[in-house]
Amino acid sequence: MSAAAPRTIEYDHGITAIDTDYFRPHLDASHLIVEKGRAAFVDTGTTHSVPNLLAVLAAKGLARGDVDYVFLTHIHLDHAGGAGALAQALPNARVVVHPRGAQHLVEPAKLIAGTKAVYGEEQYAKLYGDLVPIPAERIVATEDGTSLSLAGRRFDFLHTPGHALHHHVIHDHGADAVFTGDTFGLSYRDFDVDGRAWVMPTTTPTHFDPDQLHASIDRILALEPKALFLTHYGRITQVERLGRELHAGVCAFVELARRHAKTPDRDRVLREEMFRWLSVSLDAHGYTGDTAERHRLLDVDVDLNVQGLVHWLDRRA
């Protein structure tokens, strides 16, 4: 357990955002849902994040046996890397995942190899630690439209490709909200201005598909939720406006990729152009942070987004 208490944000409907201490504060959250003394986690962060999650559970007076589910939006390791270690600590919890991700939780070797290919061996160990396999009998693989109940509170699982083929979102009927993983992009609280959120797409490797992503965003919007809970980061409202802006961002990123598909030093140019586009968007939003602060908050995502766009271009070539 970390020396300091985990950073949390308390919301209504028994929802708590727990900072997973991934890369920097307020970048990556696990959400704890408590309903009538029963609990579920949505996404887990990495293996290193599990002590934070268990500490918050205990602080709320809940036993580890009170957790019925670990809901994973998808199996990218900033969302699901800690699922095995967390499941070990929660004797009654079942791990709920898209069917394309289920086998990778049972046998994580390919997941580990794919992540190392993106981050490298040293950074992988620092960020993710050891992945703990999950017994197959503890995994629930969803169909599109699967419904589960937590103490009578209904959750529907909707398959939403575009960011990843193994992605589903979770419609929480009790909160009239959707836990969107990465399908609805990134909205860091650092960029809030006068209570207004800002959103950007995430186009990370290797399954980015703009047509699928637009359709998945529209599927979330069609639910007309009052709020969305993003792994990156926490609750956002004004959903319709942000949906329009997210669609526009996906289109802009695709246009950048197409424009520079044959540009020499393509990756570097794309990183520079994406940062410039995001900075103009932040200016229009009213954000006043300087260039150094923008680089601090955005560079990791810009690098990953460019990798995903390049992979998409290469698949289409």
Structure confidence by residue, pLDDT tens digits, 222-254: 999 999 999 999 999 999 999 999 999 999 999
Nearest to 240 by CA among 224, 252, 251, 255: 224
Question: Is residue 164, in this structure, part of any structural domain at all?
Answer: yes
Angle value at C-alpha 146, between 140 and 152, nearest 5 degrees: 90
Question: Is residue 151, in this structure, part of any structural domain at all?
Answer: yes
The domain total for the chain is 1
Question: Is residue 271, in this structure, part of any structural domain at all?
Answer: no
Residue type, 187: S
Question: Is residue 228, in this structure, part of any structural domain at all?
Answer: yes
Position 284 pLDDT exceeds 60: yes
pTM of the model: 0.96
175 CB-near residues (< 8 Å, 6+ apart):
12, 13, 15, 226, 227
* pLDDT, position 311: 96
Burial of 237 (0-12, 13-18, 19+ CB in 10 A): middle
| 118-122 average pLDDT score | 84
Question: Is residue 141, in this structure, part of any structural domain at all?
Answer: yes
Question: Is residue 66, in this structure, part of any structural domain at all?
Answer: yes
Question: Is residue 134, in this structure, part of any structural domain at all?
Answer: yes
Structural domain boundaries enclosing 37: 8-240
pLDDT (tens digit per residue) in 133-154: 999 999 999 999 999 999 999 9
* pLDDT, position 234: 98
Question: Is residue 316, in this structure, part of any structural domain at all?
Answer: no
Residue 75: pLDDT band (50, 70, 90) is very high
User: How many whole angstroms separate alpha carbon 300 and alpha carbon 311?
Assistant: 17
User: Helix 266-285 vs helix 239-259: angle between axes, to the nearest 10 degrees?
Assistant: 150
**What's 182's domain CATH number?**
3.60.15.10
